[in-house]
Every structure is written in C-alpha cells, then in structure tokens.
Structure 1
Amino acid sequence: MRRFKWYICVLTALALGACSRSDSPQESAADAANKLNVVAELAKGPGNITVTAAGQIILSLHQFYNHDVRVAVINGNAQLVPFATEANVNSVLGVQADAGGVVWLLDNAMRDGSNRRLVGWHASENRLVADIDLNDFTNDQSFLNDLAVDPARNTVYIADPAGGADAAIIVVDVAHGNARRVLKGHPSVTPEDIDLVIDGTPVRVLADDGSEIHPRVGINPIAIDKNGEWLYYGPMHGRSMYRVRTADLRNSKLTPQDLAGRVERWSDKPICDGISIDNAGNLYLGDLANNAIGVIGTDRKYRILIADPRLSWVDAFSFGHDGYLYTVANQLHRSAVLNGGKSATKPPYLVLKFKPISDGTTGR
C-alpha cells in the first residue's frame, strides 16, 4: 500500500484555486438521452476502457474502489470476467488495444509497491507478448496513469503526473524494452492552480491531519492521432490542450530545451480525465465539472457535445469496431478518496457509447 498512500499524499499537495467552468451551451436532457446508449451497468467502478478489433470490451477496474479484479472483459451478459490474470498485474488504469490484437496494460503498482510495468497481452491468443519494467524510468512520486500506443513505430507514450513539478511523458521503445522521461516539469504537463467542482461540491482529499485538501493533477489526458504524427495531451487540472510531434519525442538527440520549444498549445479545454481523437482530428474529452462529453474540433474551439447527469466522471474513451465511441462513467468524485474520506457513490456504474463526429481507430 506504500505507493497508493503516496498517491493520496500527492493529491493533497496543493491548496485551493479558482473553480473550473465552461461557457459552452448545454443541450437538453432528452437530446442527450437520445445520443447515449447504455452498454452495461456495473456493480464495480471501472477505470479505463478499450475495445479490441474483435469487439471485446476490456476495462481496468479503478484502484480507488479497491477491487480484487484488476482488468476484466465484459461478456455477452454484460458481466465482468477477469482478463489477463496470468500477467499478474498489480494495479492497472491505462488500457489500450492495438490493431494486432495486443491489449497494453499500464501497471502503476500502487497497491503494494511492486514494479511498475508496461504489459502487452494478446487478447485472442491469451498470452503475454511484452513485459517492460518501468522502474528505472520513474521516480518515487510517479503515478503511471494513461497511455497512447503507436504500434507502427513500436512506441508507447505514458502520462506520469507524478508530484506536479516532476510530471513528465515517458516514451517507451517497445522493441528494445527501454524508455526516456521527457518534458519533465514543462508547463504542458504540470497542473494549474484551479479547483474541480462537480454538482456544486469541490473534489477534496482527506489529509492525515483530518483537513480537506483540493488536489491538483498534472498530465493525464493523452492521445495520438490517426497517422501517429502528433501526440495531444495536457494536465488534468489545466485549461490548455497541447500537442507535440511524436518524431520529436522519439528523437533522443534533442536537448530538453529544444524539445520544449517544439511543444504547441493547441486549444482551450476544461478540467478533464482521459481523451480520444477521431480520424478527422476531433478530440473528445470528459467535461468533469459539467457531467458532459466535450469536443475540440479541428478549428481548435471547445464545445459540449453531450450533457447528461449519467455522465458522472467520464474517465476514458475507446473507439469500437462498430462505429461508436465507448466511454465509462465511474463517479470517481464520489469515491471516498476524492470525497473527503466518505463514499457517496450510487451504483450502477455505466459503460456507454455514442456516435462520434467522425470514425476513429478501434481501441484508441
């Protein structure tokens, strides 16, 4: 539990700031209901989601809910069946399937302090294809949160919000099993001093002395475009989305200053968790403060796409093989960890899908 307790400490690291808001108009509840389809109602709180080319819906189970199961697949009866149990993962949030049938699992090891790992598991063949130890590329404050997979270049990009100032992107060379930590402490990965307020209540963490602290989290949203050319990302607690060329991230000859100079501010954004991008370049995100799904268009403007009370902490997205974009609503702000030590969750937790503006890459 050492690392998990540390993460709670990280969430208590900074004091209060300004409230998150969105000026985008919200649609009626009836309009939103017509757009959202419930795929499954779950008794256990999900973390992230990915859909394989074969149509399997795979979920990580969020560690804030202390589940025995780490990763699961939804069967035909909308029940959770443990997935990749032989990989012996410790604590997974980030999951992403590639076109070759491999599901990439990001093990942050927050339950008991075991090794942080990037695990590749072939879904249909039920076998391990990669197991990369990431301890040498992290630090004591690391919290490996989400990932973007580029199978064409055998590279995985990992979001590590760490302790704010130590936040970074980890670039993993899968073929050689090594990695580099880049953009450490850059403004594009570190949190802003802004507050997340949902349903009129600020997200807050109970500190060891009994006080309530409002957390600040660095890089969390991360996604790669259709051609693998650009990586889009930003701090969870931040008002800006950024992008950088993946070729620059992979170029070990660039100095930290040179790489930092190639980062572009892409657009405004609200406080958000996971993101996805379609083949036309539209970015989808969970607008946490507004119980909504938002989109940043290719015009770089943000707007709310669907607003619905069921969208209670939209954590992650994945394009399916059926033309839908899948997402989860896990009520994370109501968990004891983010609600001042008291759980106010109201199961079921939801897996949902909706029609995106344009098609996307399955699994992402």
Structure 2
Amino acid sequence: MNRVTLSCTALLFAVFTASAETKSDFDVFANLDTGPGNVTATASGRIIMSQHQFYQPQYTVVEYKDRTLLPFPNWEMSAADSTAPLKLDSVLGIRSDSNGVVWMLDNGMRSGVTPKLVGWNTKTNKLQRLIYLPAPIAPKDAFVNDFALDTIHNHAFISDPAGGINAALIVVNLSTGAARRVLQGHYSVVPENVDLLIDNVPIQVKTPAGELVRPHIGVNPITEDLANEWVYFGPMHGLSLYRIRAADLINASLSAEELAGRVERYSDKPISDGISIDRNNNIYLGDLANNAIGVIDPTRKYRQLAQCPRLSWVDSFSFGAGGQLYAVVNRLHRSATLNGGDNQAKPPYFLLKVKALAAGLPGR
C-alpha cells in the first residue's frame, strides 16, 4: 500500500475566488487490497476506515498505519479494563470527535443483529459509549449508513435509507442514548426515480427470484457545518440536497408536521454517497455517475473539481489534522451486490488525499 501520485491529464477544473485562481488536486495516498467503506481522521492524525460489508472483510474497521491496515480497535490493549470485547459486525459510517472518540455506526446486517452506535476513546483505548438502535427506531429493513456528529449539542444525526419509502433520519442523544426516528417518508429523504449508470452500465441488484432490478436508495449523504448549525442531507438517488437546523432536529417538542416544515431545499447535487464540509461551507461529494469529485460552494452552485476513471465510486470524505481532505474509492458498482450478482471489483482500491478549497474539522 504505497503512496503514489495520481495522473489524469486535462481533468482538473479551475476554481476562481475573488482574488486568485486555485486548483483542486488529488493523489492516491494509499493503494488498498480490500474495499474501504468510510474514512475518518482523528485530531491526533490517526486514519481509521470501515471496510465495506459488500466485500465480506475479515475486519469491519481498520487503522491505516505505516502503510498497513491494522484491526481497530485494539481490544487486547483494553483487557485491563475487564471489558469483554465488543463484536463489531458491519460498520460503515465512522466519525471522530475533538475528544479523540471514534464513533462507529454498525448496521448489523451481516449477522442480523441490532444496529448500534459505538464510541471508542482512542486516548484511553477504552469503550466510551454503546447505544443500541432497536426497532422501531431502526426497523427491520433499516440500513443505518452514515451520520453527522454534533459535539456542541452532543447528538448524532443518522441517515437511514431503509426500504426507500420509509427512509428517515435518526436523532441520537449521545449523553442519554435516547433516539428518535424523524422525517420518515419526507420528500427530502426518499429516493427520486433516477437510475445510476456508471460507465454506461446500470447499477442492478439480483432479487432472490433472480430478477435484476435497479435500486433507488434514500437518504445517505449527511454532514453538518462547523458551526453545528445546519445539517445537510439528501437521498443518494436524488438530485437535490436539503438542510435543516440541528436545533430543530433535537427539539422533541416539534410535531412531525412542524419539523417537516423546517426542511429547506439547499441546492442541486448529483447521485452521491458520503459528503463532507469545510470551514467556508464548501460541501464535497463523489459524483458517482461521472467518476468525479464535486463541490457545492456557498453560492449553492455545484461543479466538478476533478474527473478521472480512477475516481470509481468515491464513497466517503473526512478532514484530517492538518486540514487535508481524505476520501476513499471502493468501486461498489462492480461488487456482486450492485452488479447483478457478478463480482467484477478488483484491487487496488484507494485512499485519496484531496486538495480542499479550505480547511475543515478533523473527523468531519
């Protein structure tokens, strides 16, 4: 897993500011033998990745260190705490906070276990928090996927595309563990009737009966600005990004109708997976259909920053300790799950470094 420069000629797009012209660039920070899920970076500089369950990984979470993937957390080092090792089943969403806690969202789908949100303290190397998400908070068809971490309000906001029509956000109080399912079935979270085609090949899922269907996935991308004021989200299969104030999401006194009325359409977006945001409110995302990285700037305009065949399903973004922006490439459209049962995905997969337009918050 070496760091190599990524070369794609004529694929960088100029970005103009009031005073100067800058370019957004990226390179491959590491070649990976297994398909990553999401990535986060701690304030101390550690890089933690989930491993995508579609590829049946041995470890669902790993740390990239010294060009090697190491299982995370290191349960053996925590043995002195007399805490029985916690089994992680299918982690995708992963974020870290300023206190050194890495939060892992385990959807439990590989083993059919109850979804949970797990906080691991990297400073003490101990379990910080364990919050289960039983039904009806996470229904039988839940696919708790990604989340935004709000350390000011001490809440997590989870995206659950579920079965599409019942997609929703889940609001979790990190202090009490209390959780609420909100905006279920709202137009801002349910998928639009748009197909995803990559390299002219449609994303298809094979049903138990052998039929090939084109899935439409609900709310997935989600992030929050650095002021912890606005939560941005939208359906993966959707061409709109929405936002709502964090204060409204955590206000349990609002009725479902009142909360729905607080949702704003923010901007256009392409079909996309994970997103992140910098201190200037530039929102970064993978433009899946076009093998590209894009940005929604503060004027609410979307544009591509870079396009390249190697940007083959850019899944997740996270800022690091030095203001750099990490991203992962996992080629999910070539996995058996999304390629009609035919696995065409092959390593290397990538951990990228993206030259962001502004610095961001480590872990977000």
TM-score computed with the length of structure 2 as normaliser: 0.90
What amino acid maps onto 1:108 in structure 2? N
Query: CA offsets per residue over residues 27-75 of structure 1, 9 Å max, x none?
Result: 8247799921211111100000000011111000000000110100001
Q: Which moved more, 1:28-37 or 1:279-288?
A: 28-37
Detail structure 1 runs of 4+ shifted over 3 Å in the superposition. Answer: 29-34
1:330 offset after TM fit, Å?
Answer: 0.3
Provide the C-alpha distance between the structure 2 equivalents of 1:31 and 1:301, rounded to a whole number of angstroms: 15
**Structure-to-structure mapping, 1:160-309, within 5 angstroms:** 160-309=160-309
For 1:358 and 1:72, the matched residues in 2 are separated by 27
Is 1:58 paired with 2:40? no
SS at match of 1:337: coil
State the one-letter code of the partner of 1:243: R
Measure, in 1, the Cα distance between the counterparts of 2:122 and 2:220: 25
Whether the aligned pair in 1 keeps the contact of 2:291 and 2:312 (CA below 8 Å) is yes
Distance 1:30 1:133 in 2: 44
TM-superposition CA deviations, 1:200-245 (whole Å, max 9, x none): 1001111122221100100000000001000000000001000000
Residue ranges of structure 2 left out of the alignment (5+ in a row)? 1-7, 15-22, 76-84
CA distance in 2, matches of 1:170, 1:255: 15
Q: How does 1:340-359 map to 2 (within 5 A)?
A: 340-359=340-359
Q: Report if the CA contact (8 A) 1:87-1:119 is conserved.
A: no
8 A Cα contact 2:12 2:307, kept in partner? no
Measure how far apart 1:113 and its partner are.
1.3
1:22 aligns with none
1:152 Cα offset (Å): 1.8
Q: How far apart are the structure 2 equivalents of 1:31 and 1:252?
A: 44
- Confirm whether residue 324 of structure 1 aligns to residue 324 of structure 2: yes
**2:61 maps to 1:71:** yes
Residue pair 1:323, 1:355 contacting (<8 A) in 2 also: no
Q: Are the counterparts in 2 of residues 27 and 307 from structure 1 also a CA contact under 8 Å?
A: no
Aligned match of 1:118:
117
Aligned residues with identical type, % of pairs = 52
Question: C-alpha displacement at 1:323, in angstroms?
Answer: 2.1
> Which deviates the most, 208-217 or 31-40?
31-40
Provide Cα deviations, 1:303-355, integer angstroms capped at 9, x if missing partner.
00111111110000000112211000000000011011111113100000111
- Tell me the CA shift for residue 124 of structure 1: 3.0
Q: Which residue of 2 aligns with 1:11?
A: none
Tell me, what secondary structure is at the counterpart of 1:87?
A: coil
Once the two structures are superposed, residues 153-209 of structure 1 have per-residue CA deviations (whole angstroms, 9 ceiling, x without a partner) of 110000001111111000000111111110010000000010000011001111122
* Contact persistence 1:59–1:71 (CA under 8 A): yes
Rounded Cα–Cα distance in structure 2 between residues aligned with 1:347 and 1:266: 36
Do the aligned partners of 2:328 and 2:352 also contact (CA within 8 Å) in 1? yes
- Residues in 1 aligned to 2:163 and 2:293: alpha-carbon distance in whole angstroms: 27
Q: Does 1:99 align with 2:98?
A: yes
For 1:347 and 1:31, how far apart are their aligned partners in 2?
28
Partner of 1:47 in structure 2?
37
Relative distance call for 1:272 and 1:30 in structure 2 (3 A) is: closer
Inter-partner Cα distance in structure 2 for 1:29 and 1:267 = 24
CA contact (8 A) 2:39 2:50 kept: yes
2:158–2:171 contact (8 Å) kept in structure 1: yes
Note the C-alpha offset of 1:126: 1.3
Q: CA RMSD in A?
A: 1.6
Per the alignment, residue 337 of structure 2 pairs with: 337
- Aligned mates of 1:349, 1:329 — CA distance in 2: 6
- Distance in 2 between the 1:346 and 1:67 partners? 14
Count of residues paired in the alignment: 338
**Other structure's SS at 1:153 match:** coil
Instruction: Please give the alpha-carbon distance, in whole angstroms, between the structure 2 residues aligned to 1:34 and 1:278.
Output: 14
Local SS of the residue matching 1:148: strand
CA distance in 2, matches of 1:246, 1:87: 31
- Which residue identity is paired with 2:246? T
Give the structure 1 partner of residue 154 of structure 2. Answer: 154
Give the TM-score normalised by structure 1.
0.90
2:13·2:305 contact (CA, 8 Å) conserved in 1?
no
